[in-house]
Copies of this chain bind each other. A is one copy, B any other.
Amino acid sequence: MRPGSTDEVSRVLAECHATGQPVVLFGGLTGLVRGSVAGEHEIALSLERMHRIESIDPVGRTMTVEAGVAVQRIQEEAEKHGLLYPVDFGARGSAHIGGSAATNAGGNGVIRYGMTRDSVLGLEAVLADGTVIPALNRMIKNNAAYDVKQLFIGSEGTLGVITRLVLRLRESPRSTQSALVACPTFAAVSRFLKHIDGSLGGSLSAFELMWNEFYRMVTTPPSKGTPPLPQTHDYYVAGRKHRRRPDAGPGAIRGSHCRRNRGGTRRRRRSVFVRGPAGGVVGAARRRRGDLPLGMPVAFDVSLPLAEMEGYVTDVVERLEREWPVYRRFVFGHLGDGNLHIIAAGPPSAEARHGIERCVYEPLAARGDPSRPSMASASRSNHGSTCAAARRKLALMQKLKQALDPKGILNPGRVLPG
């Protein structure tokens, strides 16, 4: 179904609700966890025809859009008014803003601007029974009763269909500076983050960490990059900061831990370039597997506290090395928000996929409290903790699902067990 308006979404859902017809939501189809694959008895509801940018308010710095607008179009429209829509990730060109909100996407700028949740001021959603919920708030602070939009952000379409959004825009930075820094140990990376975050205040907008294998991949043919720094270090940090003044040639992120970026514009481009493929490699590998020497990629999106990151990655990499030595392993992450991407790539095999999933998830589940494991939702049910705390939390989620979608027609089996 390809509804062209909120009203049509409402009519489709009312009909599906009446007949108990399961519905799978389609946004830009850039997700990697197989959330948007319609099963045999499911119909797909695509918002691709709802792609209007409705209005922009340059004074209040808001934009009102339909859910099917691509993230990149929103960024470009904001730019025309000297403004910035700050949520940015590799799939920007095709990912829909509705899907970005439904999955609460993060990306490159989280350390400065937060997740999609932090850029959504208001939204309109349609409940499973077709009821339209208008919550098109335009203000940063609005504490009038419950902030119901929070229900729909991050719940991956299981509680309602997001149809329109009011986005928060920011003033564009005058210019940006980037630096690529090699670090000998994880402890040095961690100290560097603390140092640079304190000294740059709010202007640090990215702090991306590449483990050696990943850095080598994106700076070795057939990747287009050449290595701006030798490929022999254990860790590489790509940092970006906003500048107050227009770009005026050479500049550096200051800091005693930091190898100065002396090359000015040319060096800056090269270091930004290094990061470019990092954001896009997952999507690129998925869509055009032939382009990269990856074979079947199994991609993970994992969050954990900084203090546990080094040990966790070491465990996973050692285990993958031992159990699936044929598969290449790549690790990179948005360190500012504790978000890691792990990719294993090699010959296609369902057995390998499941084995690799165990290698990634089991060390995660072993670390800390049962309410914490953050993993790709498609595989979560395989690893559900059985302890009482997790059960109570799941029961609360099911209560919410029951209250909003009593027949369970929206994205059944996604996020929550079917």
Contacts and interface: CB of A to CB of B under 8 A. Distances in A.
A92 interface: no
A372 B202 contact: no
Contacts of A131: 392, 395-396
Contacts of A144: 303, 372-375, 377, 380
A170 B200 CA distance: 12
Contacts of A305: 57, 60, 62, 138-139
Nearest to A172: B198
B372 A137 contact: yes
A141 B303 contact: yes
A104 B392 contact: no
Contact of A139 (B114, B174, B304): B304
Query: In the complex this chain forms, how many copies of it are found?
Result: 2
Interface in A141-155: 141-148, 150-151, 153-155
A194 interface: yes
Interface stretch (A47-55, A69-77, A267-275, A330-338): A330-338
Contacts of A37: none
B140 A396 contact: no
Contact of A137 (B127, B133, B200, B371): B371
Q: How large is the interface on A (under 10, 10 to 19, 20 to 34, 35 or more residues)?
A: 35 or more
A201 interface: yes
Nearest to A111: B140
A118 interface: yes
A400 interface: yes
A96 to B, nearest CB: 17
Contact of A141 (B337, B377, B397): B337
Interface in A116-148: 118, 127, 131-148
A103 B337 CA distance: 25
A114 B143 CA distance: 13
Interface string A106-117: 100010101100
A326 interface: no
Given A114-B118, A199-B174, A199-B244, A400 B397 contact: no
A141 B112 contact: no
Contacts of A306: 59-60
Contacts of A402: 403
A217 interface: no
Contact of A372 (B118, B138, B373): B138
A393 interface: yes
Contacts of A304: 139
Interface in A7-57: 57
State the 10 A-B residue pairs at the shortest beta-carbon distance, nearest first. A202-B202, A171-B198, A140-B337, A150-B150, A403-B403, A144-B374, A141-B337, A139-B338, A141-B339, A60-B305
25 contacts: A60-B305, A127-B396, A134-B371, A137-B371, A139-B338, A139-B372, A139-B374, A140-B339, A144-B303, A144-B380, A148-B393, A148-B396, A150-B150, A150-B151, A150-B153, A170-B197, A171-B194, A171-B198, A174-B201, A199-B244, A201-B244, A202-B242, A399-B403, A399-B404, A400-B400
